[in-house]
Amino acid sequence: MNAEPLSPDAATVVAALREELSELHQELVRYDLVVWTGGNVSGRVPGQDLFVIKPSGVPYERLTPQSMVVCDLEGRVVDGGGLKPSSDTAAHAYVYRHMPEVGGIVHTHSTYACAWAARGEPVPCVLTAMADEFGAEIPVGPFAVIGDDSIGRGIVETLTGHRSPAVLMRNHGPFTIGPGPRAAVKAAVMCEDVARSVHISHQLGRPLPIDPEAVDRLHHRYRHAYGQPGTSAQ
């Protein structure tokens, strides 16, 4: 596709987003959320009908800002430097088209989250850390085969109107969203952490539920009072 060249302002924003995404992909490695070339992170380009995503199948140690691929919201490559975008590009594009509040998306195959996804079982909200970050259970989305809008549609149908920024796509793995890519990466990290804790709790017995009103209070506090003034929990 011979796309129009980016305006100088857009090019500046894209360059900064490429830098951020290059760093954020290393966070997936640092938190042990991916193996080999699995997983991907994308970010919406503010003010543009564009997003930037990881190139497909490139080892994490070779990812650079310049290797990140710029796509339009239909998933067509605008500036890729000869690299193909992630095989999940259609899913990310679908979410960006249908959830305008989403600025970042992450997909991983993290172990415990995938174990819950393989069972098609939502992670119940039985920890205060879950109430904080997810405000509910971590839901399960439908089984969907890569290659068209199916995965994206399943993410949107499951997360629209749901507090959780994470969805476990059945028999596949977690996708997370956020107002920006860093928030989506954090949700992926927290998703794997609570999936592991609740799995272990299940092995020891039946986890105890948290009163829904307490979940509401915890979630509100975390989103509005946690951390330093002027900073968001996301």
Ligand X SMILES: O=C(CO)[C@@H](O)[C@@H](O)COP(=O)(O)O
Which residues carry out catalysis?
Answer: 132, 226
Which member of 22, 40, 164, 176 binds ligand X (CB under 6 A)? 40
Q: Which stretch binds ligand X (CB under 6 A): 66-74, 75-83, 86-94, 132-140?
A: 86-94
Query: Is residue 32 helix, strand or coil?
Result: coil
Rounded least distance, CB 177 to ligand X, Å: 16
Which member of 38, 65, 139, 179 binds ligand X (CB under 6 A)? 38
Question: 38 or 122: whose CB is closer to ligand X?
Answer: 38
The length of the chain in residues reads 234
Query: Is residue 120 helix, strand or coil?
Result: coil
Question: 124 or 154: whose CB is closer to ligand X?
Answer: 154
Question: 7 or 26: whose CB is closer to ligand X?
Answer: 26
Q: How buried is 63 (Cβ within 10 angstroms: 0-12 exposed, 13-18 middle, 19+ buried)? A: buried
DSSP assignments along 46-113, one per residue: TTSSEEEEPBTT--GGG--GGG-EEEETTS-EEE-TTPPBPTTHHHHHHHHHH-TT--EEEE---HHH
Rounded least distance, CB 98 to ligand X, Å: 18
Give the interface with ligand X as residue ranges (CB under 6 A).
37-40, 54, 56-57, 86-88, 107, 109, 146
